[in-house]
Amino acid sequence: MDVDHCKITECAIECLKISGNFQLRMTNTEASYCDNYGIYLSSNGNWSSFEDCHIFSNGTSNSDAAFRLSTGCMPTIINCTIGPDNRRGFYIYNNGLILDGNDNDANVIYNNGTGVQTGTTGAEFYATAGADPSVNRTNIWDIRDGERQGIFVYNATTGNPDLDFENCYFGDDWDGAPAFDEETQEDFFVGDVDFDDWSDTYFEGADEPQPDDLSDFDIALNLMSNGYFQDAVPYFWRHVEGNQTKLKVNALQRILWCVYRSQGDLAALKDAYLDYADGQEERVRYAALDLACFCTLYDGYSEQAAEELSELRNVAPSIADSLVLEMDISYANMLADGGDGPGIDAVNAYDTQMRELDELLDNLPETTQQKAVPVPADFALDAPYPNPFNATVNIRYQLPSEELLRIAVYDLSGREVAVLKNGKETVGYHSATWQADGQASGVYFCRMEAAGFKRTVKIILAK
């Protein structure tokens, strides 16, 4: 079977699993964002080949990898880029592997283990139980922030695996990080590894990655998704304080979630938000001020948070923002009435009032809506709020004309779990509410489709 110029992404288990006496030839293909493995090959007789492919951002648990190879398969990999992935680059069990490059067609194995940062779980190669890979003229490196992370090769004692590296480039000599040589080589490997010489220069072929290819936001997101909340915070801050213009509000929101989940100093975070807000453009400034109010709320001072939110509502940049703030104020007041600290009863009462406010907005006279809200210039599906959420999440969207609209929520397996809107919708700014009753904690996707416009946003349910 030939797979050419394809993109396989966001699968629940692996992007592609091949077993038995089956031959696959994959070229110019991307496999990414799958829960366990990018590519899973197993069973004797599997002599698949991969050329000019990119396998990245796969894996969530410690045994996951970009490539998992087991039970006698012998794939050939040429001019491919493996990484960055959340766990291992290669997990090799009782089988062979040929990574065979030349001066102009070299493989790149780099920055795997972004979700763990250190240790054998984040190795570029993890071999066990009779593994027998042959790696020739391949670029292997793992560097972030000028420091080497984790190890390059882990050779387990179980089953006596035999790893053979010939003339490879172990390239952590960027940004002052230690280079691979006779004195430092033991720091790069765990277990017995055979290698015949090594290269002092990077092989051409696959585009040479740079240490900053993995953005601060990507690193932070990987750390956060794997429960390393405290470690994720400085990377999110570096993103919002840098020159990037995208995802700043998203990163600011995630900082609050990470500090809250790691039981960090919310008062200090509030001060940081207020300092950051000065001099920012309106959208980012408003988000930082809003999140500062939520620091007060999550720190247990509900009444004070309601007062701060009320002050912010008076200077909100739009009516839609005022409505959301009204909901937030109701939430803070509910918590204050029921005692400090988020509680189920308070959250349920807040959810009820939020639905009533949504109804009120939808039932406003048409002339009132036309005067208060300008006609949107384009379609849009805004970031869900709050996100992560507990029981109910608010999803705002806009249409520049009256259209047939569908908004639905899907889980990681692609199963549709809720339909929020399905029918004709008027021009203007609108919102939908998803009550995730009966759904498990985890990642979901909200998708909007209208008149050829398609947009998907990620929602995190954290009960």
Residue pLDDT, tens place only, 34-59: 878 889 887 644 578 888 888 988 87
Q: In sequence order, what are the residues at sequence separation of 6 or more whose Cβ sits closer than 8 angstroms to the Cβ of residue 308? A: 292, 293, 296
Residue range 163-174: mean pLDDT, rounded: 73
Q: Which of 87-96, 146-155, 208-217, 397-406 has the lowest mean pLDDT?
A: 208-217
Match 């705002």 to its residue by tokens. Answer: 396
Task: Using alpha carbons, list the distances in angstroms from residue 455 to 254, 398, 399.
Answer: 21, 12, 13
Residue range 266-286: mean pLDDT, rounded: 91
Distance of CA 243 to the CA centre of its chain: 20
Beta bridge partners of 42: 19, 70
pLDDT of the residue at 342: 41
Question: Do 15 and 32 meet the contact criterion of CB atoms below 8 Å apart?
Answer: yes
Residues 108, 236: Cα–Cα separation, whole Å? 27
pLDDT of the residue at 143: 66
More confident residue, 226 or 311: 311
Q: Which of 175-179, 222-226, 287-291, 452-456 has the lowest mean pLDDT?
A: 175-179
More confident residue, 230 or 210: 230
State the pairing for strand pair 96-100/132-136. parallel
pLDDT of the residue at 372: 43
Token output for 26: 């994959």
CA atoms within 13 A on the CB side of 205: 24
Q: What is the pTM of this model?
A: 0.48
> Average model confidence (pLDDT) for the chain?
76
Position 70 pLDDT exceeds 90: no
SS (H, E, C) 13-58: CEEEEEECCCCCEEECCEEECCCCEEEEEECCCCCCEEECCEEECC
Q: What percent of the chain has pLDDT over 90?
A: 11
Residues 421, 437: Cα–Cα separation, whole Å? 18
pLDDT tens, position by position, 326-377: 777 877 887 777 644 444 344 444 445 545 555 554 554 444 344 444 678 8
Match 């399905």 to its residue by tokens. Answer: 422
Residues 62, 453: Cα–Cα separation, whole Å? 38
The letter for the amino acid at 365 is P
Position 20 pLDDT exceeds 90: no
Question: Do 194 and 160 meet the contact criterion of CB atoms below 8 Å apart?
Answer: no
Q: Which of 115-124, 202-211, 271-280, 450-459 has the lowest mean pLDDT?
A: 202-211
Residues 219, 226: Cα–Cα separation, whole Å? 11
CA atoms within 13 A on the CB side of 179: 11
R_g over Cα of the chain? 25
SS (H, E, C) the chain: CEEECCEEECCCCEEEEEECCCCCEEECCEEECCCCEEEEEECCCCCCEEECCEEECCCCCCCCEEEEEECCCCCEEECCEECCCCCEEEEEECCEEEEECECCEEEEEECCCCCCCCCHHHCCEEEECCCEEEEECEEEECEECCEECCCCEEECCCCCCCCEEEEEEECCCCCCCCCCCCCCHHHCEECCCEEEEECCCCCCECCCCCHHHCCHHHHHHHHHHCCCHHHHHHHHHHHHHCCCCCCHHHHHHHHHHHHHHCCCCHHHHHHHHHHHHCCCCHHHHHHHHHHHHHHHHHCCCHHHHHHHHHHHHCCCCCHHHHHHHHHHHHHHHHHHHCCCCCCHHHHHHHHHHHHHHHHHHHCCCHHHHHHHCCCCCCCEECCCECCCECCEEEEEEEECCCEEEEEEEECCCCCEEEEEEEEEECCEEEEEEEECCCCCCEEEEEEEEECCEEEEEEEEECC
- Number of neighbours of residue 300 by Cβ within 10 angstroms: 14
Phi-psi region of 309 (alpha: psi -120 to 50; beta: other; left: phi over 0): alpha
Residues 105, 126: Cα–Cα separation, whole Å? 23
Q: Was domain 374-463 assigned CATH 2.60.40.1930?
A: yes
Q: In what order do the strands lie in the sheet with 453-461?
A: 416-425, 403-410, 442-450, 453-461
